[in-house]
Amino acid sequence: MIIDKPFEFIEDQSSPNRNIYPLTSEIDEKGRLTVGGCLLSDLAERYGTPLYVLDEFTFRSSCKAYKNALSKNYKGLSLPLYASKANSSLVISSIVKSEGFGLDVVSEGELITALNAGVQSQNIFFHGNNKSKRELLIAYQNKVNIVIDNEYDIDQLDNLIPTEGHKAKLMLRFTPGIECHTHEYIRTGHLDSKFGFDPDKLEDTLIRLKNYQWAHLTGLHAHIGSQIFELAPHRDLSSVLADALKKAIEIGHPINDINVGGGLGIKYISSDNPPSINDWVKTIALGMEKACKSRDLDLPRLLCEPGRSIVATSGITLYKIGSRKEIPGLRTYISVDGGMSDNPRPITYDSAYTACVVDNFLGDEKELVTVAGKHCESGDVLLKDYLLPKASSGNVLGIFCTGAYNLSMSSNYNRIPKPATVLVGNGQADLIQKRELPEDLLRYDILPDRFIDHR
């Protein structure tokens, strides 16, 4: 039996990025939180903590929202790509493939994950501002789309590709010169960026690429940042891309694809108000249609690369509460068995999150606490001065919207193993990534003979 809720878990069924909680979140008759039909405290007991939990329904709903929005709002062909950097695994790659997505990847690891999950090579796009020779060769040999980011990419490909080899299918990335009101570290569209060709070098690069028999340039790419709540910059991007498209066609490149990147924000806390997926896609689609029409251009295939807005809301991280420290008149700390190694975003970006005590979601007796991680860093704080139901040692804490950039940015700081991940749905939980063990961290250590006591 599910009790009446004092508030709406689901704020926007059609656009998961506008929700803090997974779409399957419910409270049972004992006030305990379930996701995907699974009791979260049971998952913590069964699989241990910290534990990443992903709700399959929310994840798939995000994919469907993008597919539906593109079909509804854009008159030309389209292909949404999942940005693997948000969270990469065999299961995640398999799910997005089954939902009609391609993938963008930025490393050999992400690339082989996509390939081993069965994603077709023509639907994989390989990014990166400093690709290695090995990475470029693997991408070329597997006939994936290579997004050239700089002259170094071109020079390396010119040396790697054999004279009689097949042509490399390329997309060219350039900086569009558009800034957004987002964190400094995640703005990638302004001119002072490590990513992409500068606009004033675009024409020369397009001409240069015509001189290589191995080069088959079929697309252009630009990206303006991430966790963006504004629509106007995306509308402006359409005109910049259409100008570049016109120039590339005039030079003789058979450009079929335009990739507008990603960047749509999500709702981490109650004050966040991101646009819906449909509104974001509609803005880009109408902007591209208008820009192409005014320049007498055929509509290209429209690509976009959402990551955070696909997977973040489906994720929740579970922790066990341990020690407690009260500083009278100042602050109360409660510590959990994870922290900056499984979620580096608060210490890196000062990111804010929403949390709960999973078996006392509606608790009336609340207290102001700071949730600290267990790492040897004073800044290892997940939540500062946060109002939570009163919790005790052993209670399970849940932090929402951790599906993106938590596992993918995790580390072994303090030699702490990385958490497991479970996928939940219809009352079933499947382990999709094993928990590291402390002894796993010794696997790649080597103790030379001279350090071994031979007495």
Q: How confident is the model at residue 273 (pLDDT cuts 50, 70, 90)?
A: very high
In 3D, which of 386, 311, 314, 324 has the Cα closest to residue 356? 386
Report if residue 83 sits inside a domain: yes
Instruction: Give yes or no: residues 224 and 278 share one domain.
Output: yes
Residue 187 has pLDDT above 60, yes or no: no
Instruction: Give yes or no: residues 303 and 401 share one domain.
Output: no
Report if residue 455 sits inside a domain: no
Q: What is the pLDDT of residues 100-138, one digit of tens each?
A: 999 999 999 999 999 999 999 999 999 999 999 999 999
Higher-confidence position of 178 and 10? 10
Instruction: Give yes or no: residues 274 and 138 share one domain.
Output: yes
Instruction: Give yes or no: residues 110 and 217 share one domain.
Output: yes
Angle at 101 between CA 14 and CA 176, to 5 degrees: 90
Angle at 87 between CA 400 and CA 311, to 5 degrees: 50
Residue 30 belongs to a domain with what CATH number? 2.40.37.10
For the chain, what is the domain count?
2
**Most confidently predicted of 6-20, 191-205, 358-372:** 358-372
Q: What is the pLDDT of residues 67-81, one digit of tens each?
A: 999 999 999 999 999
Report if residue 75 sits inside a domain: yes
Residue 202 belongs to a domain with what CATH number? 3.20.20.10
Q: What is the pLDDT of residues 441-455, one digit of tens each?
A: 999 999 999 898 765
Domain limit, last residue, from 255, 277, 307:
307
Please state the rounded mean pLDDT for residues 208-215: 96
Question: Catalytic: 304?
Answer: no
Instruction: Give yes or no: residues 132 and 192 share one domain.
Output: yes
The residue from 180, 292, 356, 376 that is catalytic is 376
Tell me the C-alpha distance between 234 and 284, whole Å: 6
What's the half-sphere exposure (Cβ side, CA atoms, 13 Å) at 313?
35
In the numeric block, the tokens 């999973």 are attached to 358
Instruction: Give yes or no: residues 303 and 317 share one domain.
Output: no
Residue 3 has pLDDT above 60, yes or no: no
Q: What is the pLDDT of residues 379-412, one digit of tens each?
A: 999 999 999 999 999 999 999 999 999 999 999 9
Task: Look over the chain and give the mean of its residue pLDDT values, rounded to a whole number.
Answer: 93
Identify the domain containing residue 37 by its residue range.
16-55+312-434
3-state secondary structure of 347: helix
